[in-house]
Amino acid sequence: MGAKEDILSRVRVALQGDAPVTDIPREYRQSGTMNQDQLIDHLTDRLVDYKAEVKVVLATDLQGAIAEFLANARSVVVPHGLDAEWIAGVADADVVTDSPEAPVPVDQLNATDAVLTSSAVSVAESGTIILDGTPTQGRRAISLVPDQHVCVVPASTIVEILPEAMPRLEPSHPQTWISGPSATSDIELERVEGVHGPRRLSVIIVKDA
Amino acid sequence: MSVNLGIPAVRSSGEGNLFAHEKFQSAAKRELKNEQLRANLRHATHTIRDKRLNVVSELPDWEELRESGSRIKENVMARLPELLEQFEAAFTARGGVIHWANDATEANAIVTSLIRATGETEVVKVKSMATQEIGLNEHLESLGINAIETDLAELIVQLGHDRPSHILVPAIHKNRTQIRDIFRAEIPNASPDLTDNPKELAATARAYLREKFLNAKVAISGANFGIAETGTLGVVESEGNGRMCLTLPETLITVMGIEKILPRWEDLGVFMQLLPRSSTGERMNPYSSLWTGKNGPDGPQNIHLVMLDNGRTRALADKNGRSALHCIRCSACMNVCPVYERTGGHAYGSTYPGPIGAILSPLLTGITAEENSSLPYASSLCGACFDACPVKINIPEILVDLRAQDVEAQHSVRKAPTEMDVLMKGASWALSSGTRLKFLEKGLPAGRLLAGKDQRISWLPGIAGGWTSSRDIPAPPQSSFRDQWAQREKFQKSQGSQQSQQSQASQKPTGKQGE
Ligand code: SF4
């Protein structure tokens, strides 16, 4: 308790006699101008730039696109709220469901090839996909430990710029913002994909039918 | 012992890795001899600089974002007590535990006791400037606790028994061959045939660290932002090592400076546009994690936060220097700094190198702190850092102010006048009278004799020797400006009878340039 009082009183003394700062200018862009097709193109362009794989499909083709991306996976983990139809086309892999009641142990996740999730919001301008821990996205560990992340982005969840995304997100939910697969540039600034997170990020943007 | 008068002590100084152990000037002189370092640095800073300019120019509202960012931070400083309490209430309501630390000693002790309570002796760690500032790793090591750095560059530095030299790319001073040698020698299962291919090196680090991540019970992190309205903490990273540390272990201990607060959730939308673009020159960093206390089986069960002062309140009390606390540690200022580019980060001696280090370290410790008083002179005052800074910290202005503070401080402790005092006195005597100046300027040709064939003076005798010990000065011109001016006037007067007033007014100066 002591240190808190010490620090706060020093702050108060340091600020004594200062005028409060009023009116913060917020003249930056608050909303975008793109239509849905432009948003999809823009997001795709950014994600490809980050070395992610992208497919743009109609809702009717989603199952097939997922099966294609997961063609080489022998085991897949999915969050408990995911639409069971999505994974139905993946015949050859063991599918494990993770839930808050029965979380998959981390060793098992480490032995799992891929994970399939949905996403909450995506930002076209920066190529950022946001997962928020809700039942279609699951616990943070499942989208982290397996080597491939197949992520579904419903077109209606894409916004153009970050300030549009903020009000759509619930701060109390744990969030993971993903812009491309894991990468490092620490060795002579040469970009190497896949250090600790999934080395392969496969994104499926689903257009409204 | 100080007497408590009921007034809180304003000046609680920062401690830990904030001190230069040697004057910048002499450290820089040594570092300048390291050509490998300079080549690596040049390549790196120029690459990042170009990338940054590209992605910044993509945003039509970059200046508006900077302006908002700067004002939001100003507002944070003005409302700090209220925002800190708001943050604490929100964070605690979600199951987090807050600890406050006046300085490095207290912060290290808190983290140690939290780790000890878990019974663990090995912890994983995300790169963090705050923990580097307080020397946490060294402290833990001295008590038998092994803190493993998991950021690739930090791991390279740690395994190489070295110090980071850049806040963003800490191993910027090492090339791939040096890194391969470190890995071969220090990573237990590294293949003896390991090549210097960056892909292979990264894969070696991945295999080594994955085992650590899966077994770690305790993780330590810093935080890029803490949002007062929601109690949310955020960490921005690239490799996924942050995500590993922040989500897999049972206990998470975060150390954050009290200045990292943002008032509102929407403010994050401003700073997450400013930070990645300024920092790595990317539109967005690969991974960001945000957490608000405990989240059931998603993530750690014990969430701790150490709120660190360590000189921040001292910096806050400096009205001219206060805005150094706006810094979001993007490193844009060092990537554009001509001094940093040549000396490298080690010359600055502390955790914070480059232009921001030159102001932040002395602000946190006080300008009178041993050797840190040399840091405000580690700049050419070219202003590139100010232009690059996403939160518009006027670094050159603060540098000048700190220099003035240093001069004041030196005055009060010195008994005999220094060479500088003598010089300044002399200059003021000479400059205050035209006749005196004229007389002195007669000595200019003597200066030309002192200079060598290349017309540069690299050694001056007596009181001016301090100046030339770290730089050459060009020889004085053949004649003074005053003489040249007088001659020009004379010439114009003799021409005057033939020319109209008007054409004289539009006449271009005739002096030759660049002799
Ligand atoms: S002073 Fe500005 S440019 Fe330098 S690291 Fe801090 S925020 Fe970035």
CATH 3.40.50.10420 segments of chain B: 69-323
Q: Tell me, yes or no, whether A145 lies in a domain.
A: yes
Instruction: Indicate whether A81 belongs to any domain.
Output: yes
Q: How many angstroms separate the CA atoms of B240 and B218, rounded?
A: 17
Count each helix (H run) and each strand (E run) in chain A, helices first: 6, 12
The 3-state DSSP class for residue B80 equals helix
Best residue of A143, A147, A195 to probe chain B, by most B CBs closer than 10 Å: A195
* Run of H or E residues at B396: helix B395-413
Q: How far apart are CA B317 and CA B405, in angstroms?
A: 14
Distance B140 CA to ligand 1 centre (A): 29
Q: Nearest C-alpha of chain A: how many angstroms from B463? A: 40
For residue B497, report the phi and psi dihedrals to the nearest 5 degrees: -65, -25
Return the half-sphere exposure (C-beta side, CA atoms, 13 A cut-off) of residue B419: 7
Taking CA atoms only, the protein residue closest to ligand 1 atom 2 is B389
CA B410, chain centre distance (Å): 24
Taking the C-alpha atoms of residue B163 and residue B20, their distance in angstroms, rounded to an integer, is 13
Nearby residues of B274 by Cβ (< 8 Å), 6 or more positions away: B65, B66, B69, B328, B330, B390, B391
Q: Would the CB of B384 count as within 6 Å of ligand 1?
A: no
Paired tokens of B160: 């190489």
Place of tokens 């040549």: B342
Assess if residue A21 is contained within a domain.
no
Radius of gyration of chain B (CA): 27
pLDDT digits (tens, 9 = 90+) for A117-164: 999 999 999 999 999 999 999 999 999 999 999 999 999 999 999 999
Answer whether A131's CB lies under 8 Å from A120's CB.
yes
- pTM tops 0.95, yes or no: no
Spatial separation of the C-alpha atoms in residues B503 and B361, rounded to whole Å:
56
Q: Rounded to 5 degrees, what angle do the CA atoms B95, B222, B158 make?
A: 135
- For residue A117, the distance in angstroms to the closest alpha carbon of chain B comes to 15
At B507 the pLDDT is 37
How many CB pairs (< 8 A) connect A and B?
A: 252
Instruction: Name the closest residue on chain A to residue B171, using Cα atoms.
Output: A186
Q: From the list A8, A107, A182, which residue is nearest B240 (CB)?
A: A182
ipTM value for the complex: 0.96
Around Cβ A104, how many Cβ atoms within 10 Å? 19
Does A191 have pLDDT greater than 90?
no
Q: Is A187 helix (H, G, I), strand (E, B) or coil?
A: coil
| Domain region containing A106 | 33-182+196-207
Residues in chain B: 515
Q: Which atom of ligand 1 is nearest to the CA of B326?
A: 7
List the residue whose alpha carbon is closest to atom 7 of ligand 1.
B327
Beta bridge partners of residue A95, listed in sequence order: A76
CA distance B267 to B326: 14
Tally of structural domains, chain A? 1
Partners of B58 in the β-ladder: none
Domain B69-323, CATH class in plain words: alpha beta
Cα–Cα distance, B42 to B37 (Å, whole number): 8
B331 interfaces chain A, CB cutoff of 8 Å: no
A20 in a domain, yes or no?
Answer: no
> In sequence order, what E strands does B299-454 have?
302-308
Instruction: Give the Cα separation of A79 and A176 in Å (integer).
Output: 15
Residue A124 lies in a domain: yes
Q: Kindly report the CATH number assigned to the domain that includes residue A93.
A: 3.40.50.10420
Asked whether the beta carbons of A124 and A160 are under 8 A apart, the reply is: yes
Cβ neighbours of A141 in B, within 8 Å: 247-248, 298
Give the pLDDT score at B461. 46
Does B393 sit in the ligand 1 pocket, CB within 6 Å? yes
Cβ neighbours of B428 (radius 10 Å): 9
**Do the bridges between strand B251-257 and strand B218-221 make them parallel or antiparallel, or are there none, so unpaired?**
parallel
Among B residues 156-185, those touching chain A with beta carbons less than 8 Å apart = 156, 169, 171, 175-176, 179
User: Two tokens at B92?
Assistant: 């605690």
Q: For B410, how many CA atoms within 13 A lie in the half-sphere containing its CB?
A: 17
Residue to mutate among A184, A190, A199, with most B CBs inside 10 A, is A184
Q: How many CB atoms neighbour CB B260 within 10 A?
A: 24
Average pLDDT of each block of 10 consecutive residues along chain B (515 residues)? 43 78 82 80 87 95 97 96 98 97 97 98 95 95 96 92 80 88 92 90 92 96 98 96 97 98 98 96 96 94 97 95 96 92 83 92 86 85 94 95 87 58 62 67 56 54 49 64 79 66 39 36
Give nearest CA residue, ligand 1 atom 3.
B389
Q: Which of residues 14-33 of B touch A (CB under 8 A)?
A: none
The position carrying tokens 């001073």 is B173
Task: Tell me how far CA of residue B121 lies from CA of B116, B216, B303, B428, B463, in angstroms.
Answer: 8, 10, 18, 63, 57
Alpha-carbon gap, residue B258 to B278, rounded angstroms: 22
CB contact under 8 A, A189 and B64: no
Considering the domain boundaries, does residue A159 fall inside one?
yes
* pLDDT tens digits, one per residue of A32-88: 999 999 999 999 999 999 999 999 999 999 999 999 999 999 999 999 999 999 999
Q: Which helix (H) or strand (E) holds B140?
A: helix B136-142
What values do phi and psi take at B125, rounded to 5? -140, 135
Helix (H) or strand (E) holding B200: helix B198-215
Q: With beta carbons under 8 A apart, name residues in chain B contacting A7.
A: 100, 102, 258, 307, 309, 313
- CA–CA separation, B135 vs B106, rounded Å? 12
Residues of B in contact with A167 (CB under 8 A): 266
How many whole angstroms from its chain centre is CA B360?
A: 7
Q: Provide long-range contacts, Cβ within 8 A and 24+ apart, for B394-398.
A: B394/B323, B395/B324, B395/B333, B395/B355, B395/B356, B395/B358, B395/B359, B397/B320, B398/B320, B398/B321, B398/B323, B398/B324, B398/B359, B398/B363
For residue A91, what are its two tokens?
């015949």
- Residue B504 to residue B507: CA distance in whole angstroms: 5
- Return the best residue to mutate from B225, B280, B325, B327 for the ligand 1 pocket (most ligand atoms within 8 A of CB): B327
- Would you say residue A27 lies in a domain? no
Nearest CA in chain B to A10: B10
